[in-house]
Amino acid sequence: MCNHYSRLTVAEVEKAERELAEAVERIVGAIPVETWGWSKDHMPVVYRGEAGRTLTTMRWGVWPYYEKTLKGRPVVNARDDALLTKNIWKHSARNKRCVAAAGGFFEWTGPEGAKWEVLFTLPNQKPFFFGGIWSHDPVGEDRGFAIVTTKPNPTVAAIGHDRTPLIFDAEGAKRWIGSEPMPDQEWMAFCQPYAGELLRRDLPPPEKVIAEDDLFGGELEV
């Protein structure tokens, strides 16, 4: 997945799922008004807290437990086939699942030196949720989340990508967050390519060659 996506306005989040977003006005007011979410930005996230489903903001990007300097770029994507095998994800996948509301996501395609972005949205710009996992930073008090990626559906696969964000509607988002712990096989069964329709819009190529770190954020996908 590319290192930015289209987040929603407060009104759109509420329309997508009022129960998930009942605290949006209070929390999202502190978020910059830019349309796009980039890695390291703090974005609206819903997770299961002590009081049930809770809306807050977290940085997009997880620092590995062994990273004590917090330099460079955090990990923004987590492969679904690594959630139960990589130490960075095991605990969060079982106990700290979350969702992030979005209106679209971007992927790069094209030959080296002449790449362009493709924007994927749902029909009628319908909002949706990314499935994610979150964790506390290894130092300090901040938290970050990573977007889970899975196998692409045919629309995304057509541009040559073998991964795509895990996408849910409002009901699927509730199930992913969960109201109580679930067996591994139950929540892992949610990690499926998006079965609905995705619309593709190719954006104009950038005027200058984009550096590799700017294309993919310099992050790992683990």
Over range 89-101, report the average pLDDT: 95
Contact 168, 196 (CB under 8 A): no
What pLDDT, in 10s, does the model give residues 41-88? 788 899 998 888 888 889 999 999 999 888 878 999 999 999 999 999
Closest listed residue to residue 131, CA positions, set 179, 164, 84: 164
Tokens 């079965």 belong to: 195
Predicted TM-score (pTM) of this structure: 0.81
The closest of 58, 37, 61 to 46, measured between CA atoms, is 58
